[in-house]
Amino acid sequence: MKVLVTGGTGYIGSHTVVELQQKGYEVVIADNLINSHRDVVDRIEKITGIKPCFEQIDLTVEKGVKQMFDKHGDIHSVIHFAALKAVGESVKQPLRYYHNNIESLINILDAMNRIGSKTIVFSSSCTVYGQPEKLPVTELSPIQPACSPYGHTKQICEEIIANTLSVSELNGVLLRYFNPVGAHPSALIGELPLGAPNNLVPCITQTAIGKRPALKVFGDNYNTPDGTAVRDYIHVVDLAKSHVVALERLFNKKNKKNLEIFNIGTGQGYSVLEVIQSFEKVSGRKLDYEIVGRRSGDIEKIWADTTFANKELGWKAVLGIDEMMLSAWNWEIALKGE
Ligand code: UD1
């Protein structure tokens, strides 16, 4: 079955393409390459032995999206990752985020309806919960006002999908990711931020390898056991696998509603200092870091209740924090050798 993976050369997208190909699916990647590299396609081929079909395309251009769907004809399913995702940047460039993330989705849904595609899996985020009052968060926890235009686009996209699916033949799954980290065990693909990274784990590995000065730990006066902020970090390979499971649930008509929502995390929260400790343990290196003030827009703590995903979706994260940090470190070392 042919699956279109938008954003398929990106961080989570590329790992998902690998898992799909290893399960025998035919993949078409659509990506504009503004935040990823074309050679990811070759790296995927090195891992799986199969070169995915690649379309360089701006998904905000309706005509181009239509043409792509017509060209490939029988796109049964779409996994839609393609989006801008930097929280801070979205505050500075809100319209760019709204245009890009929302128009792309509308064009994809239009094209899917037109050719009669059957299923969509959408890349959403725990950011839709804001700072929850009760932890862990379940899929029924209230959606809070978004803390950034990026987060707002995820909320809007969820609603667009819900409204569209309520009047179409499409079935879908929204996956709300917690904090994806780590890299493929081959060290051939991983997170490759263009420019200075914002996220914690690439900041840690780049500091350790000497690409950046001391890591700044944003705040140690939160209401958490060691004062630093807590997140539910999830290995990107576990996360990638959840997409295949979600897709197969839809293929096999196991879904209970035409749109289902699942939290994709481990259910375990780690503080920034605990993440650093894990990194130091698996890498054998001392990390140079300093405590600085809080980063604006950060929430204090969040982790997932994954009961619904574990029981209903039949998926569970298996890789722990040390495996996440070791794979991220191996990826950074591999990049240095290139
Ligand atoms: C944010 C978004 C999330 C999005 C992700 C993708 C929110 C609430 N979360 O996650 O939805 O999917 O970005 O980019 O909008 N930290 C440091 N020093 C650093 C970098 C980070 O101390 O140099 C800390 C942060 O303050 C935070 C933790 O590490 O407490 C994780 O930060 P980060 O990796 O940026 O992810 P989030 O902000 O949680």
Summarised one tens digit per residue, pLDDT across range 70-103 is: 999 899 999 999 999 998 899 999 999 999 999 9
Q: Is 127 in the pocket of ligand 1 (CB under 6 A)?
A: yes
- Other C-beta atoms closer than 10 Å to the C-beta of 66 total 15
pLDDT of residue 296: 85
Is 270 annotated as catalytic?
no
Q: Rounded CA gap, 25 and 33, in Å?
A: 23
HEC string for 213-235 = CCEEEECCCCCCCCCCCEECEEE
Ligand 1 centre to CA of 99 (Å) is 23
User: If you search the block for the tokens 């991220």, which residue do you land on?
Assistant: 328
Work out which ligand 1 atom sits closest to the CA atom of 86: 14
pLDDT at site 1: 84
DSSP 8-state secondary structure symbol assigned to residue 137: B
Q: Is 151 exposed, middle or buried (0-12, 13-18, 19+ CB in 10 A)?
A: buried
Instruction: Pick the catalytic residue from 97, 150, 222, 233.
Output: 150
Indicate whether residue 200 lines ligand 1 (CB < 6 A): yes
Enter the tokens of residue 301. Answer: 């703590």
Residue with the nearest Cα to atom 27 of ligand 1?
229
Q: What is the pLDDT of residue 196?
A: 86
Q: pLDDT value at position 277?
A: 98
Q: Say if CB 289 and CB 247 are below 8 A apart.
A: no
Q: What is the pLDDT of residue 303?
A: 98
Q: State the CATH architecture for 200-231+267-337.
A: Alpha-Beta Complex (3.90)
Number of C-alpha atoms within 13 angstroms, CB side, residue 193? 18
Q: What is the pLDDT of residue 158?
A: 98
Crossing angle of helices 39-48 and 11-22, in 10° steps, is 30
Spatial separation of the C-alpha atoms in residues 27 and 158, rounded to whole Å? 24
pTM for the complete prediction? Answer: 0.98
DSSP category for residue 24: T
Determine if ligand 1 sits within 6 Å of the CB of residue 198: yes
Q: How far is the CA of 217 from the centre of ligand 1 (A)?
A: 11
Q: Which residues of the chain are in CATH 3.90.25.10 domains?
A: 200-231+267-337
Residue ranges, comma separated, of all CATH 3.40.50.720 domains in the chain are 2-181+233-264
In the chain, which residues have pLDDT < 70? none
Residue nearest (by alpha carbon) to ligand 1 atom 16: 200
Query: What kind of fold does domain 2-181+233-264 have according to CATH?
Result: Rossmann fold (3.40.50)
Q: What pLDDT sits at residue 272?
A: 98
Beta-carbon contacts of residue 159 (< 8 Å; ≥ 6 apart): none
Q: Residue 90 CB: number of other CB atoms within 10 A?
A: 23
